[in-house]
Amino acid sequence: MFRPLILISAIFALTACNATHVRQTKIYQSGEKAEHNKLTYSVVDAQILPRLGEDPNARIPTSRFFVVQISVSSANNQPSPIPALALVDDVGKVYQELADGTGVGRWLGVVRSVDPAQTEAGQILFDAPAAHYKLRLSDETDEDDVYIDIPLNFMHEQMNNSTVATPNTMDAAPKKP
């Protein structure tokens, strides 16, 4: 009588040991609070720039500079490192953060952390073609994939050295002298 019960218990135990976790993908929208590893991220704004700075010392990207303004809050009870983030395009190509933030105001830097119950805000920099991206918050060691969707928006793309296109300047007709 006990043998069938032991056999059934052993089968359930072996089945539980072989169960694998299926990676879940969670995508937040820009402006939403995305929680991951006791940190809460939010994309505040994103700009697409053809260069950083003014001539003759302007930095020229391989493709375009993506300047992403983020805020990161901590729910930990000790200082938490803010890991490197990445842009992922619609076909899965990954663009890592640039380690040189020269020309970026309020650059968060490469080695960064946030204190308990505090928020750090600043900008991170990428060199990537103009396209639709998701900001990847997780890496391959995490159980799930966590992203913030960054829509392709040319409203902030710098048109020339001194003019940034806005809804008001794009719709306005040129003034006659």
What are the pLDDT digits (tens) for 90-116? Answer: 999 999 999 999 999 999 999 999 999
Rounded to the nearest integer, the mean pLDDT of the chain is 82
Nearest to 138 by CA among 46, 47, 39, 71: 39
Q: Where are the domains of the chain?
A: 23-154
CATH class of 23-154: mainly beta
The pTM for the full model equals 0.75
Please write the tens of the pLDDT for every residue from 15-67. 555 556 688 999 999 999 999 999 999 999 999 999 998 888 899 999 999 99
Helix (H) or strand (E) holding 11: helix 2-18
